[in-house]
């Protein structure tokens, strides 16, 4: 931009005939035009000129699409600026909050008995706690409130929970204790149910995927295909290896032929490129979840796919411009889920946690499973933890939102870790940053007391009830 201004100044003033005011007016109009185009143009790098401050880790990938958060037309009502933002938050995060069984949903504060709490904190408005473009006050999870926000409503908690006496007023959100929204792994009953578990469970296997679950539970009769059944177009040039790869995959095993991906229907033309929308016809859960994680969130708002050079975590330089779409991890025709489970991750990620994986006990288990010396589901790859296998009405499927169980990371304890570890051990490991950086090569240095405290609470209640009953 500076060079353009210098060039324009030189051109306008070179002849000595152009009035100085006209030269400066032209320069100012050019600058104004540059910024105005960035304001009204579709999502592009030009829009970042209008950012009032650095965007948070959760949203920086879509900062070029200002309308994703600020477009009033996406709300059905006549919104205020705050309403527009609230609508944008719910549009992207509403389902996530429902899945998390939000501990503080907005409806809780519509209850008249809780109305007085709104004087302390407007808990019905996401922006009360999560403002954007204020990096100087943004902490983990995009929180822009002081960390003592729990205390203002729960300052009497020690009266009903003696175990909380003497705790610091800003310690509620300490790892393994409480979260504002997602407490699925921290509910008292859940903690008590897992009291007394050993660090390492006797049975340590993961849910196993089935071919039927990969395709959203289709009841269509499955007819296995072979190379001879491949229905690529006559005269179509093709790589024999690609067809061989396809014939060895689950696609062929469950009857998905070439035209199933390369044509929309029997009348459409053949397309060498296969879009993510076509993947979604059979893998809707996977594609939907992919677009809510940082790998695919740009695609969800119509921006080009993310590349590793845009990441804020350390990445390997040789993958800087690789495009992150379905084929990035499991390339077409072979769709190697084994490669996607570990090698695909480590090909890009170069942070301490990722680099430490290969020397961890988890990696040893994964290598043993691949070698056949351990049963399926007993190894631990990158995907085991970060793309967890979940169950729904369609069966076992792989959640492709790699951030879902890191918001907060205690969620991973319930979705993944407890398949192999006791809950106390899992929460303690997830609270130990050194252990995380070492990819859990060593046991956690300190133990989280939440499980023990919950058990003591239920024991004391049981004792009190027995005492009262015996005194009648």
Structural domain contains residue 101 = yes
pLDDT of res. 134 = 96
pLDDT of res. 462 = 85
- Reported as a pLDDT band with limits 50, 70 and 90, residue 226 is very high
* 242, 111: one domain: no
Structural domain contains residue 463 = no
Query: What is d(CA 356, CA 59) in angstroms, rounded to the nearest whole number?
Result: 28
pLDDT of res. 13 = 53
* 264, 346: one domain: yes
Average the pLDDT over 68-74 and give the result. 76
pLDDT at 101 > cutoff 60: yes
Structural domain contains residue 470 = no
| Contact status, residue 270 vs residue 236, Cβ threshold 8 Å | yes
* 41, 108: one domain: no
Structural domain contains residue 68 = no
Structural domain contains residue 466 = no
User: Between these two residues, 296 and 223, which has the higher pLDDT value?
Assistant: 296
* 388, 329: one domain: yes
pLDDT of res. 71 = 79
Query: What is d(CA 19, CA 37) in angstroms, rounded to the nearest whole number?
Result: 27
pLDDT of res. 311 = 96
User: Between these two residues, 79 and 106, which has the higher pLDDT value?
Assistant: 106
pLDDT at 14 > cutoff 60: no
- Reported as a pLDDT band with limits 50, 70 and 90, residue 96 is very high
pLDDT of res. 77 = 57
pLDDT at 269 > cutoff 80: yes
| Displacement of CA 65 from its chain's centroid (Å) | 19
Average the pLDDT over 396-405 and give the result. 95
* 125, 56: one domain: no
* 253, 384: one domain: yes
Average the pLDDT over 405-417 and give the result. 94
pLDDT at 75 > cutoff 70: no
pLDDT at 105 > cutoff 80: yes
Structural domain contains residue 247 = yes
Q: Say how many C-beta atoms besides its own lie within 10 A of residue 337's C-beta.
A: 17
Least confident range of 9-18, 19-28, 194-203, 225-234: 9-18
pLDDT at 80 > cutoff 90: no
Nearest to 100 by CA among 158, 14, 179, 6: 179
Average the pLDDT over 341-367 and give the result. 97
Of 159, 193, 227, the last residue of a domain is: 193
- Reported as a pLDDT band with limits 50, 70 and 90, residue 25 is confident
* 321, 394: one domain: yes
Of 420, 443, 462, the last residue of a domain is: 420
The CA dihedral of 409, 154, 461, 175, to the nearest 10 degrees, is: 20
pLDDT at 2 > cutoff 60: no
Query: pLDDT by residue (tens digit) across 194-210?
Result: 999 999 999 898 998 87
For 324-364, what is the HEC assignment? Answer: CCHHHHCCCCCCCHHHHHCHHHHHHECCHHHHCHHHCHHHH
Matching residue, tokens 């740009």: 298
Q: Residues of the chain with pLDDT > 90: what percent? A: 61
Query: What is d(CA 206, CA 387) in angstroms, rounded to the nearest whole number?
Result: 12
Average the pLDDT over 243-269 and give the result. 90
User: Between these two residues, 216 and 268, which has the higher pLDDT value?
Assistant: 268
pLDDT of res. 178 = 94
Structural domain contains residue 407 = yes
Query: pLDDT by residue (tens digit) across 428-442?
Result: 999 999 999 999 999
pLDDT of res. 192 = 97
Structural domain contains residue 446 = no
* 157, 255: one domain: no
pLDDT of res. 393 = 84
Least confident range of 45-49, 345-349, 416-420, 456-460: 45-49
* 15, 144: one domain: no
pLDDT at 460 > cutoff 70: yes
Of 401, 420, 439, the last residue of a domain is: 420
Residue 414: enclosing H or E segment and its boundaries?
helix 410-415
- Reported as a pLDDT band with limits 50, 70 and 90, residue 19 is confident
User: What's the domain range around 309?
Assistant: 211-420
421 three-class SS: strand
* 256, 405: one domain: yes
* 156, 39: one domain: no
Average the pLDDT over 333-341 and give the result. 93
* 260, 152: one domain: no
Average pLDDT, rounded, for the chain: 88
Average the pLDDT over 103-117 and give the result. 90
Q: Domains in the chain: how many in total?
A: 3
- Reported as a pLDDT band with limits 50, 70 and 90, residue 100 is very high
């Amino acid at each position: 931009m500076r060079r353009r201004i210098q060039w324009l100044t030189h051109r306008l003033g070179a002849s000595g005939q152009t009035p100085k005011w006209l030269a400066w007016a032209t320069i100012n109009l050019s600058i104004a035009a540059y910024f105005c185009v960035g304001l009204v143009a579709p999502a592009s790098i030009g829009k970042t000129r209008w950012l009032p401050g650095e965007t948070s880790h959760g949203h920086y990938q879509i900062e070029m699409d200002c309308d994703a958060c600020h477009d009033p037309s996406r709300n059905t009502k006549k919104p205020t600026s705050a309403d527009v933002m609230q609508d944008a938050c719910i549009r992207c995060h509403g389902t996530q909050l429902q899945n998390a069984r939000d501990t503080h949903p907005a409806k809780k504060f519509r209850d008249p008995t809780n109305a007085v709490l709104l004087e302390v904190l407007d808990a019905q408005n996401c922006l009360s706690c999560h403002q954007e473009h204020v990096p100087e006050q943004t902490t983990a999870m995009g929180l822009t409130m002081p960390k003592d926000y729990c205390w203002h409503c729960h300052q009497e908690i020690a009266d009903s929970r003696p175990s909380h006496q003497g705790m610091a007023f800003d310690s509620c959100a300490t790892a393994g204790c409480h979260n504002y929204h997602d407490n699925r792994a921290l509910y008292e009953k859940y903690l008590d149910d897992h009291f007394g578990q050993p660090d390492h469970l006797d049975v340590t296997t993961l849910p196993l995927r089935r071919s039927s679950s990969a395709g959203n539970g289709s009841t269509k009769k499955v007819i296995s295909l072979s190379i001879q059944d491949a229905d690529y177009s006559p005269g179509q040039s093709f790589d024999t290896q690609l067809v061989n790869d396809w014939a060895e995959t689950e696609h062929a095993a469950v009857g998905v032929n070439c035209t199933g991906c390369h044509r929309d229907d029997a009348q459409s033309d053949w397309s060498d490129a296969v879009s993510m929308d076509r993947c979604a016809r059979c893998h809707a859960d996977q594609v939907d979840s992919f677009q809510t994680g940082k790998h695919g969130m740009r695609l969800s708002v119509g921006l080009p796919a993310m590349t590793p050079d845009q990441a804020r975590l350390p990445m390997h330089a040789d993958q800087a411009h690789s495009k992150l779409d379905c084929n990035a991890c499991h390339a077409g025709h072979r769709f190697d889920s084994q490669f996607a489970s570990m090698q695909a991750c480590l090909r890009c990620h170069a942070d301490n946690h990722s680099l430490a994986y290969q020397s961890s006990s988890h990696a040893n288990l994964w290598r043993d499973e691949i070698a056949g010396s351990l049963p399926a589901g007993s190894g631990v790859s990158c995907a085991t933890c970060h793309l967890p296998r979940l169950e729904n009405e369609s069966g076992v499927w792989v959640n492709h939102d790699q951030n879902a169980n890191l918001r907060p990371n205690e969620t991973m304890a319930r979705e993944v870790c407890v398949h192999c570890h006791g809950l106390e051990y899992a929460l303690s490991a997830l609270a130990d940053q050194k252990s995380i950086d070492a990819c859990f090569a060593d046991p956690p240095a300190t133990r989280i007391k939440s499980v023990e405290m919950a058990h003591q609470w239920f024991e004391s209640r049981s004792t009190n009830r027995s005492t009262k009953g015996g005194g009648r």
